[in-house]
Structure 1
């Protein structure tokens, strides 16, 4: 195991460095539309549509997260230039013409999403703060409302676990825990977190991938210790109690059925990942660095393409 760790640690440091560069790049804003009303962070409007028509569409950009809406099984890609709904293997539609940068994204129920990141350049120029804090949508991304930390937090990882919600705030470098759906937060450990994982049946146990390797907390994110013997993972998820599924920087899939004590590697992604999500033990989703989305229905042994980007594969609705 030591050999594996030495081989992948520089890659994990490179991945973390890339994440920091993305943070710096995304600290400015990205193009999008104005807010609909009240605290809603944005929907399409006439001015926004006109602006979009005047400028070349930026596309999806780097994909930060991938998830599934249980209301209809649709796959969503949270990208640098908006939230996209995959409608076919060759098309992904930008939801509500909103071009905000979704650094963190998760689906918590039918048509119910949480996200974080940065508003558009236009919104910032109009006076909006650079950080969205935690935002919530109850209509599959058509409209968003601020839940907490607007203008302050930039959550790069959002992980629901039953009544708990975990997040990593890139602005403070701290893991956070909420017991009221993100309205208030407990401040946890400081760490260089790449990804978080937790499960509803064990909500106080939370895992974090870091440049130094996989770590685990048994106290709700207040403290973390190294997960001994774990492979170097870029992203990790917990699709069932005691089960961990993750991907290495080179795309290798790793699975533990005993809370990280032993691991198997059933297969690998066709290329290095940009995001990963275990919908269940068998159902895995990932995006690759070129924006391709892939899916496994056999626990990571094989993957098929869900979406393949091209110059004309995205549109705005």
Structure 2
């Protein structure tokens, strides 16, 4: 991409979108297009068509999505399916109609089968049943991936899809009902320490294995891929290493300085037993993550909970 290229970042206020904006600006890109959800409803086909006709972006990072943790995904199933389906369909189709040079669609590692062989290769897509608690969200994301592939095949577009692992970082969601596990644990342990609580309750058994990557690493990978990769196959983006939720909870307990006891609520769902991405394709392309998990969690905790107290 040339520095003067006109680039649209859909979802620029979100954790992923804002990280992509920071990365692009750091590299000297200034012709960036932003629209809040109030300014542009991406589920509205006519509104999206008008936006693309007026703005004529050359490149698109599609990071906009309705996201949440296990509780939110399992409760608002129709909303997650409908909104994410419409966002992907509208933005990808209008990108084709308006001649966008390249589009990068952000999918999710949850689109893989619940019991996929580990580590999960890109070829595992659609080879088995999905995790029931987030199936609607996953289906919408799978459609986005397949839209990119088939617009390439039929129309000769250059639309690519990246499948990031579990993310954390600036602008994360810390709502205890709707957030993902890492930010939820940070908040729980911090508030327990502040309130001097004897115990902290954590959902599930602690046995599931998860991979976590700082969102700034994802943004770096996205910029790398849009410059260096073209193809119909999606690309996994992760660290290639994982740990148990039990280990994660203990690390966060240490980082926050909480001295009480962890109580595991086995009546709450664990989700997928393990979800580690095979990132050999991305490594072969020449990219690897840079931010160690311990350093990343500590920096996020200090920025969110300790500064400006």
- TM-score, normalized by length of structure 1? 0.25
- TM-score, normalized by length of structure 2? 0.26
Structure holding more helix per residue: 2
Q: Find the structure with the greater CA-based Rg.
A: 2
Structure holding more strand per residue: 1
